């Protein structure tokens, strides 16, 4: 494939460009082989400096395409192209899921006997989406956008179901078997229900009536509301009746064919294809309630303390009278801010949707019980007939530390506990912001400990708690190894069910191909079963004490640089493409929650993305080396080594940091500094950070006993050996492009240079993986 790419470059751009691509590639390979220290990139840099803007684009594209080809070679038969989102449901999972469930059913029978089979309507997997519902810091997601996405999803589901049901209708449209006297040879309750539904003289007893805006239609004409399936239970009832009838009349083979697949699709995807989760910041709800309380003349909600807020919301929930008439905010612009109006209109939009169209309401930046109760009250006031389940998202280290106390207080409020359907509560654990706030090691330990505390709170109040796990890359606190990531969760936090977020690149990687999607479903199933049936004792007190030390030391070292050093933000913005990322069309949301602010306002994905581009990967390892070195130098050395050898969760954490360090390259980061950083203070900080990086590599080796990083992961080392020269080229091209862009803003070359930058960003992301 590489040869074909070279032929294509020569054909479209000429032999001269191909020679330049090959020359740069040769320099990169030679520099990797010689490993001549800080000067190893000099020849590449001098070569790239002579390229025109147009040549930067073409050469960058060549190396980016090669890495794309390498990824395709590692997993062929791609089904998805570059698109994500619901397309993965339509083109891959719609067929893969029922096929996987058939295999799971067959495995159960072969392993456990014919008496054990997957129930017909079983749905081990449920899918949901943020797209069109996540308005956290994203002004582009308006109530109308969510409304349109909900409708679009129902239309997509209707089209898919109509196609499937028309296929089975053709094969099932004949009459059931009859005897010599013309009477039906089989009688059953199912047959009676069918006659009641379609008429006793119907020549097509297995026809299914038309569904509008979310179902299937018989040929023909207009119909009344009675003929419309508005929720999946109505459609499922007819499908189950047909299945039972076929089985009762001796047609079990036909019943267990495509009909079973459709039943399982309806069970998994319903009439909405994929429900949307709504997400919004807690401050937005407080602002809306503040406008309401001032409109009512009862004071300022924002000025009340937590006890006053909880007391007022509790009283309002016990009242049947709405706080404010719908639309009153439009006539009182002097009180209701535009953001408060948007929030209130969002709840009105929620009240209009079918029950299946929306899933959970996730509250980001959640810090208190009133933050959760506020959403309950706003749903009630908007007339939401079946309120969305409310899921607090605990993100920062401080929020995680207070999560158990918050939920304990909440479950002690009768008005709230009485609102929980089936006493079920969903809690989302924010890996990303806690890792950005405190560093990977401290955040990981806080997540582990605080989840255990939440489990105990749930037991205390007899609440069935489901954890919503945010995934993502290692720097964001996630674990790209799905099986280990599930099995190594804190004991008692999975219990046979959990929710998980698959982010951007991982959707494509895990579900973009039919074989990979089936493999991913298999891994999730195996991991949940393994976690449920594996006895994993809690860490002993000695291990906990050492983890507390590691956490404290690493957090202090991380924050000393990221929060406490005034040189850090200028260095970060100069030495990485962070500022340029916000200008390019990358990601589904703005790079920052708010236009102002420093690192704390930056979203986790661009935070990781920027550091990955420069190959420094700082968020993953900063603070880890200092913590390990201090404990290895103390009386706890043997305990730390025992923890690595015997405690799976801790070993996984260290191994993931080691894996990311094996992909890092401080000489590349140094090159970005040389080209882009002019402030002497920032240059000095860069040198200090690279020394910390190198020291962390050595600390990991000292703990693991490895001579080279990730020495046991032979596949990773082999892949990176192939990819590194090409990523090196892209890094040098990117640094040169950034230099020219920053020196020539608003020039005629800006658009061409932006194209080159976007190409290098995509290429480095493909080469490195673990980007967001």
Cβ contacts of 690 within 8 Å, gap of 6 or more: 616, 666, 669, 670
Cβ contacts of 363 within 8 Å, gap of 6 or more: 279, 280, 281, 282, 285, 371, 372, 375, 390, 391, 392, 393
| pLDDT score for 531 | 86
Are residues 89 and 273 in contact, defined by beta-carbon separation less than 8 angstroms? Answer: yes
Are residues 441 and 450 in contact, defined by beta-carbon separation less than 8 angstroms? Answer: no
Per DSSP, the three-state class of 677 is: coil
Using CB atoms within 10 A of its CB, is residue 303 exposed (0-12), middle (13-18) or buried (19+)? exposed
Cβ contacts of 283 within 8 Å, gap of 6 or more: 365
Where along the chain do the CATH 3.20.20 domains lie?
Answer: 276-503
Region at 35 (left for phi over 0; alpha for psi -120 to 50; beta for the rest)? left
Q: How far apart are CA 272 and CA 78, in angstroms?
A: 26
Q: How far apart are CA 586 and CA 178, in angstroms?
A: 63
| pLDDT score for 173 | 58
Q: Is 436 a catalytic residue?
A: yes
Cβ contacts of 681 within 8 Å, gap of 6 or more: 567, 570
The strands making up 424-429's β-sheet, listed across from edge to edge, are 276-281, 358-364, 389-394, 424-429, 464-470, 499-501
Nearest Cα neighbor of 63 from 744, 614, 729 is: 729
Are residues 90 and 156 in contact, defined by beta-carbon separation less than 8 angstroms? Answer: yes
- Within a 10 A sphere around the Cβ of 599, how many other Cβ atoms? 16
Nearest 5°: CA angle at 153, between 151 and 155? Answer: 70
| pLDDT score for 188 | 53
Give me the catalytic one of 436, 583, 594, 691: 436
E strand residue ranges, 441-536: 464-470, 499-501
First-last CA distance in the chain: 28
Are residues 671 and 41 in contact, defined by beta-carbon separation less than 8 angstroms? Answer: yes
Nearest 5°: CA angle at 674, between 673 and 677? Answer: 50
Are residues 277 and 133 in contact, defined by beta-carbon separation less than 8 angstroms? Answer: yes
Q: Are strands 499-501 and 389-394 parallel, antiparallel or unpaired?
A: unpaired
| pLDDT score for 158 | 92
Beta-bridged to residue 469, according to DSSP, are 429, 500
CATH level 3 topology of 276-503: TIM Barrel (3.20.20)
Per DSSP, the three-state class of 500 is: strand
Cβ burial 503-527 (10 Å sphere, 16+ → b, else e): bbbbbbbbbbbbebbbbbbebbbeb
| pLDDT score for 225 | 55
Are residues 765 and 504 in contact, defined by beta-carbon separation less than 8 angstroms? Answer: no
Q: Which residues of the chain have pLDDT under 70?
A: 1-8, 10-12, 14, 35-38, 68-85, 173-227, 470-480, 504-505, 584-598, 600-601, 603, 770-772
Classify the C-alpha dihedral 720-724-725-727 as positive or negative: positive
Nearest 5°: CA angle at 249, between 243 and 252? Answer: 50
Are residues 534 and 489 in contact, defined by beta-carbon separation less than 8 angstroms? Answer: no
Helix (H) or strand (E) holding 425: strand 424-429
Per DSSP, the three-state class of 133 is: coil
| pLDDT score for 176 | 52
- Within a 10 A sphere around the Cβ of 119, how many other Cβ atoms? 9
In the chain, what is the greatest distance between 2 CA atoms, to the nearest angstrom? 100
């Amino acid at each position: 494939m590489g040869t074909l790419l070279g032929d294509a470059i020569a054909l479209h751009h000429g032999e001269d460009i191909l020679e330049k691509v090959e020359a740069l590639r040769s320099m990169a390979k030679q520099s990797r082989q010689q490993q001549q220290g800080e000067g190893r990139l000099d020849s590449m840099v001098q070569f790239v400096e002579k390229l025109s803007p147009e040549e930067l684009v073409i050469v960058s594209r060549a190396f980016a395409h090669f890495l794309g080809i390498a990824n395709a070679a590692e997993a062929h038969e791609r089904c998805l192209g570059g698109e994500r989102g619901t397309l993965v449901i339509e083109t891959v999972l719609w067929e893969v899921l029922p096929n996987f469930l058939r295999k799971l059913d067959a495995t159960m029978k072969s392993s456990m006997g014919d008496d054990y089979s997957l129930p017909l309507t079983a749905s081990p997997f449920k899918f949901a989406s943020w797209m069109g519902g996540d308005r956290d810091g994203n002004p582009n997601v308006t109530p109308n956008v969510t409304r349109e996405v909900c409708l679009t999803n129902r239309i997509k589901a209707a089209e898919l179901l109509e196609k499937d049901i028309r296929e089975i209708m053709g094969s099932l449209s004949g009459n059931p078997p009859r005897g010599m006297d013309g009477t039906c040879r089989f009688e059953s309750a199912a047959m009676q229900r069918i006659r009641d539904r379609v008429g006793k003289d119907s020549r097509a007893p297995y026809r299914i009536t038309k569904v509008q805006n979310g179902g299937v239609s018989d040929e023909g004409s207009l119909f009344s509301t009675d003929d419309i399936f508005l929720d999946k239970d109505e459609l499922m009832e007819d499908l189950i009746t047909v299945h039972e009838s076929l089985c009762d009349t001796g047609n079990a083979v036909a019943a267990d064919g495509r009909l079973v697949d459709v039943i399982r699709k309806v069970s998994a995807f319903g009439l909405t294809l994929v429900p949307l989760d709504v997400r919004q910041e807690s401050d937005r709800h407080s602002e809306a309630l503040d406008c309401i309380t001032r409109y009512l003349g009862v004071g300022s909600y924002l000025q009340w303390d937590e006890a006053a807020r909880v007391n007022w919301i509790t009283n309002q929930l016990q009242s049947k009278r709405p706080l404010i008439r719908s639309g009153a905010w439009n006539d009182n612009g002097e009180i209701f801010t535009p953001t408060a109006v948007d929030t209130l209109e969002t709840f009105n939009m929620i009240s209009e949707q079918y029950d299946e169209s929306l899933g959970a309401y996730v509250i980001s930046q959640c810090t208190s019980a009133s933050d959760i109760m506020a959403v309950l009250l706003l749903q009630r006031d908007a007339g939401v007939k079946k309120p969305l389940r409310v899921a607090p998202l605990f993100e920062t280290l401080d929020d995680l530390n207070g999560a158990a106390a918050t939920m304990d207080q909440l479950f002690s409020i009768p008005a709230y506990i009485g609102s929980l359907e089936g006493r079920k509560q969903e809690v989302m654990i924010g890996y990303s912001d806690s890792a950005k706030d405190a560093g990977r090691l401290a955040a990981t330990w806080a997540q582990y400990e605080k989840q255990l505390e939440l489990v105990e709170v749930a037991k205390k109040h007899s609440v069935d708690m489901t954890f919503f796990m945010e995934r993502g890359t290692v720097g964001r606190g996630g674990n790209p190894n799905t099986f280990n990531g599930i099995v190594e969760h804190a004991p008692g936090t999975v219990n046979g069910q959990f929710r998980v977020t698959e982010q951007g690149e991982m959707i494509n990687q895990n579900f973009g191909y039919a074989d990979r999607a089936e493999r991913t479903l298999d891994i999730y199933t195996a991991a949940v079963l393994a976690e449920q049936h594996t006895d994993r004792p809690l860490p002993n007190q000695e291990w906990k004490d050492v983890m507390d030390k590691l956490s404290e030391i690493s957090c202090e070292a991380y924050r000393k640089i990221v929060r406490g050093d005034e040189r850090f933000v200028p260095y970060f913005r100069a030495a990485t493409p962070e500022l340029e990322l916000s200008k390019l069309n990358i990601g589904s949301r703005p790079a920052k929650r708010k236009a102002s602010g420093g690192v704390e306002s930056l979203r986790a994905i661009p935070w990781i993305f920027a550091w990955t581009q420069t190959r420094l990967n700082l968020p993953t390892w900063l603070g880890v080396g200092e913590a390990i070195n201090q404990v290895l130098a103390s009386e706890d050395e043997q305990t730390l080594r025992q923890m690595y050898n015997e405690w799976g969760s801790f070993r996984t954490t260290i191994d993931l940091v080691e894996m990311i360090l094996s992909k890092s390259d401080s000489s590349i980061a140094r090159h970005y500094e040389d080209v882009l950083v002019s402030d002497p203070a920032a240059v000095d900080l860069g040198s200090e950070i690279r020394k910390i990086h190198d020291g962390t590599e050595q600390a990991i080796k000292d703990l693991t006993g490895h001579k080279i990083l990730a020495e046991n992961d032979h596949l990773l080392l082999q892949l990176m050996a192939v990819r590194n020269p090409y990523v090196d080229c892209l890094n040098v091209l990117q640094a040169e492009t950034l230099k020219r862009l920053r020196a020539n803003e608003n020039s005629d070359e800006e658009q061409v240079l932006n194209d080159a930058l976007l190409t290098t960003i995509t290429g480095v992301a493909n080469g490195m993986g673990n980007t967001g």
